[in-house]
Amino acid sequence: MPLHERGFFKVLVLNFRHELKIPKVFVKEYWRGVSNPIVLKLPNNLEQRVHWIQKNEDEVWLEQD
């Protein structure tokens, strides 16, 4: 499956503190070779570039600049 077809969804509330943890299962299965920054495609068809930080072997966080 191409990388752009792999995914997950997460509901964000208005005050999510400018960082988002990627699910560990997704990191273990698909994260190798992912570029930094990445482009998030939003439901309103806008795109948002965000950087990610790997905090340990299976924990990746997206952070807003």
Unique residue bearing structure tokens 């208005």: 14
pTM: 0.65
For 10-48, what is each residue's pLDDT tens digit? 655 555 566 778 888 888 888 888 889 988 877 888 888
Q: What angle do CA 45, 47, 63 make, to 5 degrees?
A: 135
Amino acid 12: pLDDT: 59
Banded model confidence at residue 3, pLDDT cuts 50, 70, 90: low
- 51: Cβ–Cβ under 8 A, 6 or more apart, which residues? 36, 37, 38, 62, 63, 65
Q: How far apart are CA 6 and CA 38, in angstroms?
A: 14
